A and B are shown apart, each in its own frame.
Chain A
C-alpha cells in the first residue's frame, strides 16, 4: 500500500524539478569540494618537492625557549647508541654580556662539545680556525659586522659576575642564527655557568635511508621532561594551510545546506499541495497520521538521495569540464578536480539529513490534516 502510494507521489509533475533543484545545490558543493581537493593535493605534493632535512633537536618540555631549556647532557651518549642516528651535538645556549674594544653588548653564546661536527653540520664558510681551546672563540659574520670584531681580537664574556677572556680565532658564515652568535668550546661555558651535567639542547641527525624507525626508538628512550622536534616542518605548514581552506569551505557549505533545507521545505510543501487528493484518499481508507508522515519523509529522502547522487556527478563533471576549458584559455592553469568516495558519501548523507530537517514541518502538517480538511 505504502509502496503503491509512494509510486503515485513519484509520478507527480513536481518530482523531476525537485530532484533537479536538489541536484543543482549538491553540484555546487561537489564542484567546489573537488576543486579544493585538487588544490590541497597540489599543496601536499609541494611537501614532497621540499628537501626535508633529517635534523632534530631535543629540548626540555617545561621550558618556553632554548635559552631556558635544561636537559641531561648524558642523553647525548644514549642517543649515539640508537641505530640510524648519524650525528649528535649537545649545545649550551645562553645570554652573555660581551665586551670588545670597550663596546658592551648582550649576545647569544653557543657552547659546543665538538667544533668539527658543528661546522660540518652547519656548512658555510670559516675565515680563520675553529675554536677548540678554552680561551678561543669563533664569531658569526653578522655579529662580527655589528660590533666590529676582527680575527685576533680579545673578547670578554660575563655572566653573573663571572668573566672569562677569549680570543677570536675564526669568523664564520653558516646562514643560520649562529651567524649572530659567539661560539665557544663547551669547557668555556662550564667556566661561565658552572653547571656541567646540563645542556640547553641536543641536535642530532638521522641517516638519510633510516628516517622513521630511529625516531620511534628515540621516543621510547626519552625521559618524560624532554621533547623532540624536527627542525624543518613543511608538512605541518601544508597541513595548516589545507585545514584553513577546509575550515572556510565547511563554513561556506553550511550556507549551501541551509538552502537545501529551504529547498526541501518547498518540495515537501509543493508535494502536499499537489497531492491533496491522494492524501485525502489515504485518510479515507484509514491510513494513520504516522504513515502519512513516514510516506512524505520517505519521498523526500528518496528525492534527496537521487538528487545528491546526480548532483555529485554533475558537480564533478562540471568542475572537470570547466577546468579543461579554463586550461585551454590559461595555459598556466592545470586543474584536475576529483572527489574521494567517502567525501561523496558524506555529501549524500548530509543532503539527506538537510532534506529531512527541511521537510519535517510540511510532512507533520500534512499528516495532521483530517479527511475533511484535505478535501476542502
Chain B
C-alpha cells in the first residue's frame, strides 16, 4: 500500500496549523531580526571597518560616558601605520523637544575616517563655532533644512547652545541620526574641559600597526611622558589645544571599533548567540500552541487514520506518511510567517519610528534565522504529530 498517493488530509484542517505556524514564525523572525538589528546597529556604531581602532575609557559603564585625554590622539599619531586619530565627544542633548546625540569632532580629521555625502549646505569647519551638520534621518525627523537654527540643551551639564545647521549629510551609518559639531561644542555640552574627549578613533594601516602596538605605545607614554611643551607638539596656535595630561594606562583600552562596542554589550550578556537563543526560546514557548495545533490536526483526522489502520497500515507507515505530508506544508507556512515578520519590520523601519537610544535600527536578514526557524518549526510539528499518534494507539 502506497499511502503517499492517498490524499486524506483535508486542506481546511491544515489551515489551523497554517495559522499558528505562520503567526509563531512571524513572531520568531520579528524577534530575531529586530534584536539582531539592534545588536548590529549598536556594534557598528563607530564603524565596522577592521582598520578603525577605538581608544577608550575602560572604567566607563557606557560607550558615551568615558573620558580620555585628548593628548592621546597626538601620542598615537606619530606611530608608523597610523593614518589619522580623531578625538570625539559623544553627548546626549535635547533639541526641538527631542532627544538626540551630538558628536563633537575635528572635522578635517573626522573626514579621514568617515565619508559623509553632503546633501544640503556646506561642510563643517572647526572654526564654525555656532554651526553644526545634521544627519539626514535626524533632519527629516525634525523637519529641518540647512540654514535653520536649533537651540540645544545639555543632559549631562548646565549648558545650552544655539547652532545653525550648516549642512545635511548622509553616511548610511548611525551618524545619520546625529548632529556633528566642532569638538569644543561637544565639550561644552558634556561639561568637561578642553583636555578630554569621550574616545579617540584611529584609522590604521593594519599591516603596519595593530591595536596592541598602539596600547604598548600608550603604556610607554604613560610611564615615560615625552618632554614636549604643555600644549603638545605641533598643535599650538590652533583653535583646539591638545594639552599634555597625565593618565593611567589601566584606565585606557584599545580595541577595534566594532569590538569596542561589543565589549559593552557583552558586559550585559548581549551577544549574537544569546539573541538567537532568546528568539528560539520565544518560538519554543509559542511551540506549545504549534504542538496543540498538530494534535488538533490529528484529532480532526482520527477517522481517516482509523480507516487506514483497519485496512492494514502499520503505525510506522502512518507516522511516516503523516510527517511526509504535513512537514512540507509546515516548512511553507514557516516561510510565509518569516516573510510576514520581515514585511512588518520593513514597514516599521520605513516609518522611522523604531528607535533605540535615539538611533534608527537598520534591519538585515540573516539566512541563519530562516534555517533555524525551519529546523525548529519542523521539529515541533513532528513532535506534536508523533505524540498525538502515540496517544491514539
Do A259 and B23 contact each other (CB < 8 Å), given the known contacts A28-B285, A231-B154?
yes
Q: CB distance A175 to B27 under 8 Å?
A: no
Q: CB distance B154 to A248 under 8 Å?
A: no
- B187 shortest CB reach to chain A, Å: 7
Q: CB distance B286 to A24 under 8 Å?
A: yes
Q: Is the C-beta of B299 less than 8 angstroms from some C-beta in chain A?
A: yes
Contact mask B264-292 → A, CB, 8 Å, 1/0? 00011100000000000010011011011
* Majority DSSP secondary structure for residues of B touching A: mixed
Residues of A within 8 A of B257 (CB): none
Contact mask B24-41 → A, CB, 8 Å, 1/0? 101100110010000000
List B135-166 residues whose CB lies under 8 Å from chain A: 148-151, 153-162
Q: CB distance B159 to A25 under 8 Å?
A: no
Q: CB distance A17 to B292 under 8 Å?
A: yes
Q: CB distance A50 to B155 under 8 Å?
A: yes
Q: CB distance A258 to B23 under 8 Å?
A: yes
Q: Is the C-beta of A207 less than 8 angstroms from some C-beta in chain B?
A: no
Residues of A within 8 A of B92 (CB): 237
- Please tell me which stretch of B51-59, B74-82, B347-355 contacts chain A, meaning at least 4 of its Cβ atoms lie within 8 angstroms of it: B347-355
- A244 shortest CB reach to chain B, Å: 5
Do A177 and B34 contact each other (CB < 8 Å), given the known contacts A67-B149, A247-B353?
no
Q: Is the C-beta of B224 less than 8 angstroms from some C-beta in chain A?
A: no
Residues of B within 8 A of A265 (CB): 16, 19-20
Q: Is the C-beta of B107 less than 8 angstroms from some C-beta in chain A?
A: no
Q: CB distance A241 to B358 under 8 Å?
A: yes
Q: CB distance A177 to B151 under 8 Å?
A: no
Q: Is the C-beta of A333 less than 8 angstroms from some C-beta in chain B?
A: yes
Do A67 and B160 contact each other (CB < 8 Å), given the known contacts A108-B130, A241-B357?
no
Q: Is the C-beta of B129 less than 8 angstroms from some C-beta in chain A?
A: yes
Q: Is the C-beta of A284 less than 8 angstroms from some C-beta in chain B?
A: no
Residues of B within 8 A of A81 (CB): none
List A90-128 residues whose CB lies under 8 Å from chain B: 93, 108
Residues of B within 8 A of A256 (CB): 27, 286
Q: CB distance A175 to B285 under 8 Å?
A: no
Q: Is the C-beta of B344 less than 8 angstroms from some C-beta in chain A?
A: yes
Q: CB distance B153 to A230 under 8 Å?
A: yes
Q: Is the C-beta of A261 less than 8 angstroms from some C-beta in chain B?
A: yes
- Please tell me which stretch of A71-79, A138-146, A153-161, A162-170 contacts chain B, meaning at least 4 of its Cβ atoms lie within 8 angstroms of it: A138-146
Q: Is the C-beta of A186 less than 8 angstroms from some C-beta in chain B?
A: no
Q: How far is the CA of A306 from the CA of B359 in the complex (A)?
A: 39
Residues of A within 8 A of B50 (CB): none
Contact mask B61-84 → A, CB, 8 Å, 1/0? 000000000000000000000000
Q: CB distance A231 to B158 under 8 Å?
A: yes
Q: CB distance B299 to A175 under 8 Å?
A: no
Chain A minimum-CB-distance residue to B22 = A262
Q: How far is the CA of A285 from the CA of B21 in the complex (A)?
A: 38
- Please tell me which stretch of B167-175, B188-196, B199-207 contacts chain A, meaning at least 4 of its Cβ atoms lie within 8 angstroms of it: B188-196
Residues of B within 8 A of A267 (CB): 292
Q: How far is the CA of A326 from the CA of B191 in the complex (A)?
A: 35
Q: Is the C-beta of B239 less than 8 angstroms from some C-beta in chain A?
A: yes
Q: CB distance A261 to B23 under 8 Å?
A: yes
Residue of B22, B157, B194, B354 most packed against chain A (CB within 10 A): B157
Q: How far is the CA of A231 from the CA of B152 in the complex (A)?
A: 9
- A19 shortest CB reach to chain B, Å: 10
Do A266 and B286 contact each other (CB < 8 Å), given the known contacts A64-B148, A175-B191?
no
Residues of B within 8 A of A53 (CB): 157-158
* Majority DSSP secondary structure for residues of A touching B: helix
Q: Is the C-beta of A240 less than 8 angstroms from some C-beta in chain B?
A: yes
Q: How far is the CA of A64 from the CA of B188 in the complex (A)?
A: 22
Q: How far is the CA of A285 from the CA of B27 in the complex (A)?
A: 44
Q: How far is the CA of A262 from the CA of B354 in the complex (A)?
A: 26
Q: Is the C-beta of B230 less than 8 angstroms from some C-beta in chain A?
A: no
Q: How far is the CA of A270 from the CA of B294 in the complex (A)?
A: 10
- A285 shortest CB reach to chain B, Å: 25
Contact mask A202-238 → B, CB, 8 Å, 1/0? 0000000000000000000000000001111110110
Chain A minimum-CB-distance residue to B294 = A266
Q: Is the C-beta of A301 less than 8 angstroms from some C-beta in chain B?
A: no
Residues of B within 8 A of A5 (CB): none
Q: How far is the CA of A142 from the CA of B240 in the complex (A)?
A: 8
Residue of A21, A145, A179, A237 near B288 (CB, 8 A) is A21
Q: How far is the CA of A341 from the CA of B384 in the complex (A)?
A: 35
List A132-154 residues whose CB lies under 8 Å from chain B: 142-143, 145-146
List A7-59 residues whose CB lies under 8 Å from chain B: 14, 17-18, 20-21, 24-25, 27-28, 50, 53, 55, 57, 59
Residues of B within 8 A of A142 (CB): 129, 184, 239
Q: CB distance A255 to B344 under 8 Å?
A: yes
Do A28 and B286 contact each other (CB < 8 Å), given the known contacts A177-B160, A234-B156?
yes
Q: How far is the CA of A67 from the CA of B148 in the complex (A)?
A: 12
Q: Is the C-beta of B219 less than 8 angstroms from some C-beta in chain A?
A: no
- B388 shortest CB reach to chain A, Å: 11
Q: How far is the CA of A261 from the CA of B358 in the complex (A)?
A: 32
Q: Is the C-beta of B356 less than 8 angstroms from some C-beta in chain A?
A: yes
Residues of B within 8 A of A67 (CB): 149, 162
Residues of B within 8 A of A262 (CB): 19-20, 22-24, 289
B binding-site residues for A, Cβ under 8 Å: 16, 19-20, 22-24, 26-27, 30-31, 34, 92, 94, 97-99, 127, 129-130, 148-151, 153-162, 184-185, 187-188, 191-194, 237-239, 241, 267-269, 282, 285-286, 288-289, 291-293, 295-296, 299-300, 341, 344, 348, 353-358
10 further interface pairs, Cβ-Cβ under 8 Å (given A21-B288, A24-B285, A237-B99): A25-B286, A55-B158, A65-B150, A231-B153, A233-B153, A233-B155, A237-B92, A241-B358, A244-B355, A248-B34
Listed from nearest, the 6 A-B pairs whose CB atoms lie closest are A53-B158, A180-B129, A263-B289, A240-B99, A65-B149, A262-B23
A–B Cβ pairs within 8 angstroms, 11 of them: A17-B292, A21-B289, A21-B291, A24-B286, A108-B129, A145-B237, A232-B156, A266-B19, A326-B269, A330-B269, A333-B267
